[in-house]
């Protein structure tokens, strides 16, 4: 057991965030949601009498906003020089295709890929046919 718990190899002190920083505030929010005792399964269940498409739309927009916030905290560290490829580890490379400017899957630096992706998602979310702003008007099928 001494080898397993060797503090020089496996133990890492808990990372602390500087109070007053954006990361500290995000950390506090994450801890509050994790320690709130909320039943996540119950939290995502469709409320009685609500339209499933409206419920999904609300969560898609919320998820986009959260991802955008998280990306905003790391984007300054990922430049075209430091992140020349959009990848999911050594085995996966993501390529961009939008059938407008990029007609074929195209390798791009991670920041450029992410900017295009976030812009594309925002266009989808703002599309009234996909995400109507009037409750109860979500289409069941994407045109």
User: Annotated binding site for Zn(2+): which residue ranges?
Assistant: 78, 83
- List the beta bridge partners of residue 23: none
| The two structure tokens encoding residue 53 | 């498409």
Binding-site residues? 78, 83
Long-range (24+ apart) CB contacts under 8 A made by 64-72 are 64/121, 64/122, 64/125, 68/118, 69/26, 70/26, 71/114, 71/118
Provide the b/e sequence for 28-54 (b: ≥16 CB within 10 Å): eeeeeeeeeeeeeeeeeeeeeeeeebb
Torsion region of 5: left, alpha or beta (phi above 0 gives left; psi -120 to 50 gives alpha): alpha
């Amino acid at each position: 057991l001494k080898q397993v718990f060797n503090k020089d190899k496996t133990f890492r002190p808990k990372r602390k965030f500087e109070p007053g920083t954006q990361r500290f505030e995000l950390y506090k929010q994450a801890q509050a949601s994790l320690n709130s005792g909320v039943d996540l399964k119950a939290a995502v269940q469709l409320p009685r009498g609500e339209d499933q498409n409206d419920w999904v739309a609300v969560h898609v927009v919320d998820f986009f906003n959260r991802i955008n916030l998280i990306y905003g905290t790391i984007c300054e560290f990922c430049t075209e020089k430091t992140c020349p490829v959009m990848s999911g580890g050594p085995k996966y490379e993501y390529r961009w295709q939008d059938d407008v400017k990029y007609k074929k899957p195209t390798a791009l630096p991670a920041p450029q890929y992410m900017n295009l992706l976030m812009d594309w998602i925002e266009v989808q979310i703002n599309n009234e046919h996909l995400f109507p702003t009037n409750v109860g008007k979500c289409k069941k099928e994407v045109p």
